[in-house]
Structure 1
Amino acid sequence: MLALMAAGTAFFPGLFLVSKGTLKCMMGWSEGDAAIISTRLVSSVQAVMASSVGCIIASSCRDVMEDRHWLTDTYILFATPYFAYDIYAMFLCYWHKLQVKGHEEEGGRRWTGAAVGGYLRREMLMVLHHVFMVAFCFPASLLWRQGKGDFFQGVLFLAELSTPFVCLGKVLIQYKQQHTLLHKVNGCLVLLTFFSCRVLLFPYLYYAYSRYASIPVYSVPLVAPWQCNLGAALLWPLQLYWFTLICRGALRQFPRSHSPPPTFKADCMTPSNGCRSHQEDGL
């Protein structure tokens, strides 16, 4: 258990440092650009790993409650440190963005305190989401479910499928490529994957259990563990909110497809999911 968590604690920051160093040395990028792209790379790698694990687990469990798969607990332990790392990575991106904009103030402590305060105000929902994943979802997934429902845990991993597309969209915006065909195709993929893997996620989980238990869907909350209902009640509205913002960003883009490309804020800080605010995912 501790070995897997230690491996995750070393892997995600280590991948970030290696990626940042490589981009600085081989591409000649600045510290800020290398850090931002590296954060998005790590987020995408974690998302691909989680989605792959989720697909393997969900396809292997025939009995949605009783079947077990060794990858379930293994990946929970390995990936949990990612959320703690990602909070810091998101702040690092925000820090570099402020430096680029010339918002430094005299006095190191004053500047750091202002940056932390601004970061928390800007990304409060994402930070709370990550804290909730560690403080609540980790014990709920590893301990409270008592070895039941690996299928449902696998489906939850699939929520990360949209994160690589969100990260790619932010990279394209950062480099002023939002007028390209790649950006438009990627935007469609963001909408499709976010809607299918995040918005429809929790209704599908309740539907799957209703089929298993042969009860109406509306009765599932009455028999499901309180941890499941609480998690769904807190996480699903966030997905709906972020999806609404993504749709608004898409609507702002497509009517202007024949006009000169607008100027977008390539602000750092999605999905997952570090450095990918769903609040500004203009596809």
Structure 2
Amino acid sequence: MLTVLSLGVVVFPGLFVICNKALNSHFRNWNDAEVVQLSGRVVSTVHAILATISGVIIVTSCAGNVMTDRHRLATDFVWFGAPYMAYDIYVIYVNQYYKEKAKGIAIYNERYFSRIKRLLLKDILIVIHHVALLTIFMPVVLFFRRGLGDFFIGCFFTTELSTPFLNLGKTLIQLGLEDSKLHKINGLMVLLSFFTCRILLFPFMYWVYGCSYNIPILSVPYHIPLHCNIGNICLLAPQVYWFSLLCRKACRLYSRQNKPQRATSKDSLKSS
């Protein structure tokens, strides 16, 4: 337990520092904000890949009995990933700090704790998400579920599948490749993976539970504890909100890219 936790404490901040140094030496014309952003995305992608792989292993290993089958990764990866959540809150603060510094906003005379509060509030949903994982999800998984439901813990780990695509999309924009074919294909993968692993995942878990106990999916909420339903709703709600933002962004991108084509077709009609 302490070994796995210590490994997480070393791996994620250590990888962030290594990425910072490598990017600073390779992209000498980038400012601190750009370096921190890309370094954070690299570490986030590594964490997401490890979480997804762990989730798939757990789900496939515990499919026999979704409530009682066990796999040690269901607890080990929680210990390993907990430092990442704390580290990522720090990166959110540092990222916002360097963004304001790059824009020339005076922040040096501001009180330290006031600055932390203000900068973290700019990504308040993500901060709340990470804090909730540390203070609610982690204790429940490790201490209060009585060794039940490793299958569903694995399902929650697979929600990170969309993260590498999200990070790749932001990186392509940062590199000026937002009009490339790769960015368009990646945008479709973002929507598909996010919808599948962060929204459809919840009815899937209810369906699997119903199949295991011969219960119709619509009756499952009445057969499981109330706090499980409330917890799922609290986890699903921000995912639906974030997915709506992704859809709006995709629509804006599609309309923006089609405008030149429409203008070109109109010009050709006029000339003819």
CA distance in 2, matches of 1:35, 1:232: 33
The yes-or-no answer on 1:241 pairing with 2:230 is no
Greater Cα offset, 41-50 or 58-67: 58-67
Q: Give secondary structure in 2 for the equivalent of 1:86.
A: helix
CA distance in 2, matches of 1:258, 1:36: 29
- Write the deviation string for residues 156-181 of structure 1: whole angstroms up to 9, x where unpaired: 11000000010111112223321111
Tell me the TM-score normalised to structure 2 length. 0.89
CA distance in 2, matches of 1:42, 1:260: 37
Aligned to 2:36: 35
Judge conservation of contact 1:37–1:171 (CA < 8 Å) in 2: yes
Greater Cα offset, 171-180 or 230-239: 171-180
Percent identity at matched positions? 41
Superposed displacement of residue 55, structure 1: 0.8
Q: How many residues align?
A: 259
5+ residue gaps, structure 2, are: 262-272
Larger relative contact order, structure 1 or 2 (CA cutoff 8 Å, min sep 6): 1
Q: Give secondary structure in 2 for the equivalent of 1:257.
A: helix
Q: Give secondary structure in 1 for the equivalent of 2:205.
A: helix
Superposed displacement of residue 23, structure 1: 1.5
The yes-or-no answer on 1:209 pairing with 2:231 is no
Larger radius of gyration between Structure 1 and Structure 2? 2
Superposed displacement of residue 3, structure 1: 2.0
- Write the deviation string for residues 89-120 of structure 1: whole angstroms up to 9, x where unpaired: 1111111111111112452x44x455434323
5+ residue gaps, structure 1, are: 262-283
Superposed displacement of residue 60, structure 1: 1.5
- Write the deviation string for residues 130-189 of structure 1: whole angstroms up to 9, x where unpaired: 100010000111222211111111111100000001011111222332111111111000
Tell me the TM-score normalised to structure 1 length. 0.86
CA distance in 2, matches of 1:166, 1:26: 23
Aligned to 2:194: 194
CA distance in 2, matches of 1:167, 1:116: 24
Aligned to 2:45: 44
The yes-or-no answer on 1:64 pairing with 2:58 is no
Superposed displacement of residue 36, structure 1: 1.2
Aligned to 2:79: 77
Change (3 A) 1:115 1:209: same
- Map 1:1-283 to 2 at 5 A: 1-28=1-28, 29-61=30-62, 62-107=64-109, 109-110=110-111, 112-113=112-113, 115-259=115-259
Greater Cα offset, 129-138 or 166-175: 166-175
1:31 partner amino acid: D
CA distance in 2, matches of 1:149, 1:106: 49
Q: Which has the higher helix share?
A: 2
